[in-house]
Structure 1
Amino acid sequence: MKFALRPQLHGHDTFAAFAEAHAVSARDLIFTQRILQETFMQDSPAQVLFYDDFCDGEPTDIAVDRMLAAVRGLDFDRLIAIGGGSILDSAKVLALDSDADVAGLFAAGVQPGRKAGLILIPTTCGTGCEVTCVSVFDFPSIGSKIGKAFDAGFADHAVLIDEFLSKIPYHVFATSSADALVHAMEIYLAPKANAYTDMFCMTAIRSILQGYMRIVRHGREVIQQDAKSYLTASNMAGIALANILAGGVHAIAMHFGSAHHVPHGEATRLFLPSVFKIYYRKAPEGKIADIAQVITEVLDLPRDGTNPFDALDALLAQVVPTKRLRDYGMADTDADRYATKVIETQQRLLVNNYVALSNADIAGVYTELM
C-alpha cells in the first residue's frame, strides 16, 4: 500500500486573498482564460498567458505544442494556472524543463524536471487535477485521448478559491461535479484502493449526492451555498485519483469524448450509470455494496429491492441531463468498433476495473445509450 499527498493545500474566499497570501508579482505568469482574468484578476501585477489564444476546447497535442513555444519565450519564476481541467493539465506540461514537443514528452520513459514553481487553482468542481500529476490530451492523429503521469507534474500548491464558483455556468458545474463523483466511485472500487483512498472517496460520494439532492429539492440557487462542499469533495476525489487511477467509465468516455468532441465531465457522466449497473450485476456483494448503501441512504430509497444504480441514473438525469449517443453523432454500427478502440488504447485505465469488462460489455454500454 502506498499513499501520498504532494501539493500543499490552501483555501481562500477570493482571488485577492490568495494573491496577497502568496505575494503574486510581476515575476509570476498566470495561465488562464480571458474571461476569468477580466472578471477576477484585472488588478493583478502578474504576466498573463491566455489559454483561449491557443485552444477553444479541450487541449490537443497540437495546441499544447503552440503553448509550449509561447511559454519558452517568457521569463517567470512561478506558473499560476487558473481554470478547468484543460488549463491545469496543460500547465503541468508547460512547467516542465524540456525542449521536447508533446509527442516527445509523452514518449515512454521521458520524465523531465520542472523549470518553475507551479500553483494550480481550479475554477470548476470536478477534475481534482490540481492535486494530480497526470495530463490528458486529445491526439487527433490516433483518434483518442491519452494521459500521462509526470513526476514533476505535481504542483507545489493547490488552492481552492470559493469565489471562482460564483460565475460558473450551470452545465459546467453539473458535468464537472459529476466527473468528481465518477472519480470517487471508480477509485473506491479499484483493485489497488486502500483505507486512505476509501476514506476520501466515500466522503466525496456522500457529499456530492447530498448536494444533488438539495438541488432537486430546493433548486439551483443552493449551489452557491454549497460551493465549499463541492470544491472540497472534488479535491478529495482528486487526492484519491493522484494515488489510484480511474477505470472503465473513464476508459469508455476517453474514446467517445475524443471521437465526438464531448467535454470530459459530460462524457464520464454519460457512461457512469451503465458501467456501474454491469458491475452491480456481476459482483453485488463486493465493495460496490458500500456505494449502493450510501446511495440508498442519501436518496432515501425504499428497502424493497430497488436497484440503487437505477435510482442514481434517475437523479443524474435531473441534475446533469445529457443526450443519447446518436445525438452526439455516433452511429448504431460504431459500437463494436469503439469498443475495440477502447480495448486497444485504454489499458492504463481498464486494469483498474472493479470487474473485467469484455469487448461485448463495452459495446453493450454504447448500444444501450444510443
Structure 2
Amino acid sequence: MKKFARTTAFVLAFAMFITGVPVSASAESSTVILGGQPFGVKFYNDGVMVIELEEFFNGSHYVCPAKEGGLQVDDVIKKVNGIEIKTNEDLQETATGCGGKGMSFIIERDGKELCKTVKPQANTVGTYLLGAWVRDSCAGIGTVTYYNPDNNYFAALGHGICDRDTGAMMPLGEAEIVGASISSVEKSSTGKAGSLNGYFTDKTLGTVTNNTINGIYGTIIDNSYLSGDRFEIAEFDEIQTGDAQIITTISGDRPESYDLKITSIRNDDPRNNENFVIKVTDKRLLDECGGIVQGMSGSPIVQNGKLIGAVTHVFLNNPEEGYGVAAQFMVCN
C-alpha cells in the first residue's frame, strides 16, 4: 500500500466537520478560469476543537476532568454554561473562573449536538484545568484550482482543511484567502514530503464559505482574477491515462505549466478525493521540487484542453506520484 500525505502545508495555531457536499457539474454548462496561483488562508473554527486529552496532577493523583466528563478528541466545543466559545482563551477563562463547579458543555460530535457536564479540577498551584488541548484556528499556503466568473466563486486545495494532529475536518467559522508569494522550495524525497515556503501579502482575494472533503470554496473579492482563458470542466469519463499538465507556482506568484502523466483511474466517487493517480515527468519540476510537495494542493490539472482535476496528495514512498481529485467533483453549491 502506498503511503501518502495531503500536500498542503498548514501551520496551525496552538491552543471538525462541515456540511456542504461537492456536486457534479455539466461540462457543457461550466467553463472556468484556471488558477495555479498560491494563496494564504486564515481559518477560524466554529467553536474550539479538542485535539488531545491529557492527565495532570491535582496534588494527590493524576486526573483528566474532560475525559471523565465524556469529552473526546475531535469534539467541537460550542458553548459552556450557555456562553459561546470561539477561542482557546474563551475556554481557558471559563474553566479557570469556575471555582471547581461543574460546567455544562454543548459539543458537536459526528454532526450531532450533545450536552456534557465537566468539573474542572485544580492543579498543584490552584489553577482549575480541564485536561484538554484545544485548537481554534489555522493558517497556511495552498493553490487555487479555478475561478468561476459566472457566479464569482473560487475552488481550491482539492481536499478539506483538516487538523494536523487528528486529521479531522475543521469546522468553518470564518476564513479569508489572501495573496501569497513562494520564496523557496524544500524538495520532497523518499519518506518525506517537501513544501513550498512563502509569505502572505496584504491583498485579500476572497472569503471561504465551504470546507469540504474535495476542497474549499468561496467568494471572490478581487475581480482582477476573474479574467483569462476559460476552460471546460471535463466529465469524469473524459479523464484518460496518458499525458497531462499541472499548473502550479514554485517561485513568486506566477503559475507555470509542467508535464505529468495520468497513470491510472481509481474511482468515480464524488465523496473521494483520490480519483486518479498522477506521476510528475517534467524534469524541471523534478529537479527543483523532487516531484509533488506540500503547498501544491489544488494545482489544476489539464488534459486535452480541459480542466480534469487538481492535485490532492503526494505519495511519501515515491514523491514523483500522488493522487488527483476530478474537477467534476470540485463544484459546490
Q: Taking CA–CA contacts closer than 8 Å with sequence separation of 6 or more, which of the two structures ends up with the larger relative contact order?
A: 2
In terms of fraction of residues, the more strand-rich structure is: 2
TM-score, scaled relative to structure 2: 0.28
TM-score, scaled relative to structure 1: 0.26
Query: Which is higher, the Rg of structure 1 or of structure 2?
Result: 2
In terms of fraction of residues, the more helix-rich structure is: 1
